[in-house]
């Protein structure tokens, strides 16, 4: 399928990371999401019920980022992908990119991140 809802630059504060200070002081994370879903019906009837409500998608991601803690970006991205696939039945696959905007490293680095793609049959993996 080639239909994709693209959400770029969602910035949220969370307490994720391996270092002790990262687990106690919120830091900024940035997400990009690519939601693969058949958009033909929505394109034809102009009805929100025929597509994915990206407001609901963003609320779910926000709840995960602000309400849970992960040591690794990989685990954070995996959880976001799995929960999106579990909650939104129309969603066939999702690409989740997450970047830590202030990585705690000793060099000048703009961000550190991961990008994963998951399909409906991999939702619980």
DSSP per-residue string spanning 9-30: EEEEEE--SSSHHHHHS-EEEE
Residue 103 confidence (pLDDT): 86
Please pick, among 100, 101, 111, 121, the residue that the annotation labels catalytic. Answer: 100
List b or e across 2-36, with b for residues whose CB sees 16 or more CB atoms inside 10 angstroms: eeebeeeebebebbbbeeeebeeeebebbbbbbbb
The pTM for the full model equals 0.92
The answer to whether 65 is a known catalytic residue is: no
**Cα–Cα distance, 60 to 24 (Å, whole number):** 22
- Phi, psi angles (nearest 5°) of residue 108: -80, 105
What would the mean pLDDT of 51-74 be, rounded to a whole number? 97
* Domain span at 56: 4-122
pLDDT at 23 over 90: no
Total domains present in the chain: 1
* Bridge partners (DSSP) listed for residue 27: 14
**Cα–Cα distance, 54 to 90 (Å, whole number):** 12
* Bridge partners (DSSP) listed for residue 25: none
pLDDT at 123 over 60: no
**Cα–Cα distance, 44 to 76 (Å, whole number):** 35
Q: Name the pLDDT band for 125 (thresholds 50, 70, 90).
A: very low
User: What CATH number has the domain bearing residue 22?
Assistant: 3.30.1130.10
């Amino acid at each position: 399928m080639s239909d994709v809802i693209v959400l770029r630059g969602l910035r949220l504060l969370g307490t994720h990371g391996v270092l002790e200070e990262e687990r106690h002081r919120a830091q900024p994370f940035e997400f990009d999401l690519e939601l693969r879903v058949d958009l033909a019906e929505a394109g034809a009837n102009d009805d929100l019920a025929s597509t994915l409500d990206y407001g609901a998608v963003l609320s779910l991601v926000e709840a995960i980022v602000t309400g849970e803690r992960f040591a690794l970006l990989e685990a954070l991205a995996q959880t976001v992908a799995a929960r999106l696939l579990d909650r939104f039945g129309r969603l066939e696959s999702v690409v989740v990119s997450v970047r830590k905007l202030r990585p705690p490293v000793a060099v000048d680095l703009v961000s550190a991140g991961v990008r994963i793609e998951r399909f409906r049959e991999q939702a619980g993996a």
